[in-house]
A and B are shown apart, each in its own frame.
Chain A
C-alpha cells in the first residue's frame, strides 16, 4: 500500500494524544476534559489503524472497534456523571467538586 508513510500516521496520533493529554491536564471544565479524553482514545485508535494497515494485519482494526466501544461506554458514563455534577454543584469545574481535603 502506498500513500501516507506509517511514520506520518504515528506522528499524527502522537500529536493528537499529546493535545488530548494537555487538554485533560489543563482544562478545569469537565466537558472539555471528557472531550480531551475522547481525543486521546481516538489518537490511540488511529495508531492501531495505522500500524495495522502498515503491517497488513486485521488486529489493528479489531482493536479500533474495541477502542470505539470503550470510548462510547466512557462517554456515556462520563456524561451521566457530568449531568449529576452539574445538578449538585451548579458548575462544571472539576476542582470545586473535590470533597477530599488531602
Chain B
C-alpha cells in the first residue's frame, strides 16, 4: 500500500509537466481537465492510503533514493506516512481537489488557464512533499516549492504592476523566514549530525537538556521560518497583498494549505520545541498577538478578500497559540477545520466576485442574499464556523480544543487573548456577511449580479459547507502516537470553558448583528472623524507595518542600490587606467611631428647635459 505514496505527488507533478509541454495543444478546457484530474487521482491515492492506514495505524517510511551522500550528510528522497502527514495529505488533496474543481468554473474564459493549472498542480506536488518528507532537507524542498508556486500564482495577472509587486513581496518576506529556517537546519545538523526527522527527535533530548541555549536558538530559528510562511507577526505583511492572485489560489494556498505549513513544521519538530520552553512560550505569545492584531485589522478592511486574509492570519494565530501551550493536536485539528471553512469562505467570495463582475469592495456590494443564494449559504455556514457558533459548527470544536489546552497548561493570558479574539472574529465575520449580502447594493456590478451555475461551482461549495459543520469536526485526525498527547486540565472545568467560549462567540455575533445591521449610520459617523477615524486608518493599514518596513528596509535598500549602481570599487580600479591615459595624452603632445620643435628640444637637452657635466666637473 505504501507504494502508492509517491503517486500523491507524482500525479500532480505529471500534470504540471503535461501542461507545461502540451498545454498549448490542450486548450483551456483540456488544461482544466488535466489539472483537476491529476489532483483527483492524487486524492484517490490518498483515500486508499488513509483506508489502509486507519486499519493498521503504523508509521511507515519509503525511501525512494539517496539524494546526497557526502560523509555524514546523507539526506534521502524519503517519504514518511504517519497520522500527522496523513491528516495534512488529506487536507491538501481533498480540499485541493474541491478548489481545483471550483477553479474550472472561476477561471472559465480567462486567459492563462493552462499556466494557472500547471502552477496549481506544481503547488500540490510541492505541498505534498513538504508534509511527506522524512528529512528536513526534503521538507525544505517542498517548503521553497510552495513559496515559488505562491509567488507565481499571486502574480498570475502579471500585466498589472501591483500584482507583480504583491507576488514579489510575498516571496521576499517568506524568504526572510526561510533564511532563518536554513540557518536552523545548519545548526541542527552541526549539533545532531542528521537531518532525518525521526532521528532528530530521538537525538535532541540526548544532546540537549531542556532550556539549553543551543536548543533554544535552534528552535528560535525554526520558528523564524514558520512565522514567515504562516504570516505571523512580524513577517505577516505579505498575506494581505497576496490576495492579488485569483481567488481559488487564495483559498488553496493562502488559507487552507501553504500558510499552515509553519504550524506543521512546529508540530513536526515538537521534540525540539518542547526542549525550548522559552521559544515555545514565544510561539504562543506571537500567536496571541497576531490573533488580536489581525482581528482588529480585519475589522477595518474594505476589500472582502483582505478581510478574509486578515482573518486567516488571526486563525493561524490561534494555531500558534495552541502550539505555544504544547497543544499540538489541537493546533492540527484547528488547521484542518480552518482549511474547510476558510476555503469555503474564499470560494464563496470568489463566487460573489465573479457574479458581481469582479467587484470586491465591501462598500460597493450589498443586498445580494436574494440574488446569490448559494454564495450566501456558503458565507453563512463558513462564517458561523469561523465565528465558532456553538455545537453545530466545526470551528467551535477546534477552537474550544485550543482554549482548553491553553487553560490546561495554565496560560491564563493566552486563554484571555483567545476569548477576546473570538469576540473580534464574530464581529468582523458579521461585518463581512452583512456588508456583502444585506443593505443596498452600491454598484452596478452588484445590482446585475448573476449566480454561478453548474456542478463545478455548486459541488465544491456544498461539500465544503458540509465539512464546515459539525460533520467536519467528527473527522478525528489520527494523531495519537505522532504528537504528544493533549494535556488534561482539572476535571469538570472543560464544560464550563465550553460554555464560556460559546457565550463569548454568541455575544460577539449578537453584538455584530446589532452594530452592523441596526447601528450602521452611527458606526459610519464614528469612523469618519476624530479618534475613530485615526483608529480606523491604523487598522485599515494593518497597524502600519508596511509603512514601517518601507521606511526601515525597502528605502535604505533602494538607496544603497542606486548609490552603488556605478560600482565604486570598479571605479577605483579605473584610477590607474585614467592616470596612464592622462600621462599618455601629455607625453604624446611632444611628438607632434614639428621638426623644429624636436630640434629645439634637443638643443635644450644637450645644453642641460653640458651644464650638468660642467657643474659636476
Contacts and interface: CB of A to CB of B under 8 A. Distances in A.
Given A21-B603, A25-B603, A95 B588 contact: no
A2 interface: no
B592 A100 contact: yes
B596 A25 contact: yes
Contacts of A28: 596
B592 A102 contact: yes
A102 B596 contact: no
B603 A102 contact: no
B590 interface: yes
A24 B594 contact: no
B496 interface: no
A101 B592 CA distance: 6
Contacts of A99: 593
B591 A95 contact: no
Contacts of B592: 98, 100-102
Interface in A18-39: 21, 24-26, 28, 33
B596 A94 contact: yes
Interface in B553-595: 588-595
A95 B596 contact: yes
Nearest to B590: A102
Interface residues of A, number: 13
A98 B594 contact: yes
B600 A95 contact: no
Contacts of A102: 588-594
A102 B585 CA distance: 8
Interface string A72-102: 0000000000000000000000110011111
Nearest to B603: A21
B599 interface: yes
B603 A100 contact: no
Nearest to A37: B599
A25 B600 contact: yes
Which interface residue of B596, B600, B603 has the most chain A CB atoms within 10 A?
A: B596
A94 B595 CA distance: 7
A95 B596 CA distance: 8
Nearest to A102: B592
A101 B590 CA distance: 10
Contacts of B591: 100, 102
B599 A98 contact: no
B601 to A, nearest CB: 10
Interface in B150-173: none
Interface in A30-51: 33
Nearest to B587: A102
A88 B66 CA distance: 84
Contacts of A26: 596
Contact of B594 (A21, A33, A95): A95
B207 to A, nearest CB: 78
Nearest to A100: B593
A33 B591 CA distance: 20
A24 B589 contact: no
Nearest to A95: B594
Contacts of B595: 33, 94-95, 98
A-B residue pairs, 7 tightest by C-beta: A102-B592, A100-B593, A98-B593, A102-B589, A94-B595, A25-B600, A24-B599
Interface of B: 588-596, 599-600, 603
18 contacts: A21-B603, A24-B596, A24-B599, A25-B599, A25-B603, A26-B596, A28-B596, A33-B596, A94-B596, A95-B594, A95-B595, A98-B592, A98-B593, A98-B595, A100-B591, A101-B592, A102-B588, A102-B592
Given A25-B599, A95-B595, A95-B596, 13 more contacts: A24-B596, A24-B599, A25-B600, A28-B596, A33-B595, A94-B595, A94-B596, A98-B592, A100-B591, A100-B592, A102-B589, A102-B590, A102-B594
Interface of A: 21, 24-26, 28, 33, 94-95, 98-102
